[in-house]
Amino acid sequence: MQRAYTLWDELSQQCEERLFHQVGLLEVGRPDGIVIPCVVTSVQQHGLVVDQLTAEQINSRFPAFRAPPDLVDVFEREAGYLKAERCVLAHVTMAKRHGAKFRTGEIVIGWQAQRRDVTVTTDRANYTSAKLVVAAGAWANQFLHDLQIPLRILAKHLHWYVSDHAGIRAEEGAPRFSTSYQKTTSMDSLRSTTAD
């Protein structure tokens, strides 16, 4: 976890592009909820630096946010966001520089392990190598089926909101933020987490 920051820095330098933006992360949630106890455990495990902020501190530091008093606010200074697509491109560029070959637009149909190697069959060709890493994301079930590795795919609902409130922009000093709520958290307190 700590090494991740060093490695992103290294990748940025090699690609001469800023990938990680250290704007901090504000997490707001119930002390007995799911996210905050996990954040606290993670902080202890990895020696992260976090500030536990009061509602007043949040309001004065980040005026766009209104923190409900019954929720806990944890601010991680070192955190931020990565430009995900640029990061994938940076990894591809560096891998190519080190001799990796990419085959895009090919569909993997299956794979077969022999005694010494493994063959991957796509809709265009067969590839044989000593090792195989399957990184098929939510589609991995199709490939892991024969190994009887159970993988349960769950649907997660994501919502994106557009706001023209300048106070929530990174350029204006706003951190990344996340709010977790459970059935016990009222929608009113959730709505009041941000001013707009």
The residues that touch ligand FAD, with contacts defined as CB under 6 A, are 107-108, 135-139, 158
Q: How far is the CB of 136 from ligand FAD (least distance, A)?
A: 4
Q: How far is the CB of 143 from ligand FAD (least distance, A)?
A: 7
The single residue listed with the structure tokens 């090699």 is 14
Using the minimum distance from each CB to ligand FAD, give the nearer residue, 56 or 139. 139
Tell me how far apart the alpha carbons of residues 196 and 187 are, in angstroms, rounded to a whole number.
14
Q: How far is the CB of 57 from ligand FAD (least distance, A)?
A: 26
Using the minimum distance from each CB to ligand FAD, give the nearer residue, 25 or 53. 25
Tell me how far apart the alpha carbons of residues 162 and 176 are, in angstroms, rounded to a whole number.
15
Using the minimum distance from each CB to ligand FAD, give the nearer residue, 143 or 181. 143
What percentage of the chain's residues is helix, strand, coil (to nearest 5)? 35, 20, 45
Residues near 119 by beta carbon (within 8 Å), at least 6 away in sequence: 111, 112, 126, 127, 128
Using the minimum distance from each CB to ligand FAD, give the nearer residue, 102 or 115. 102
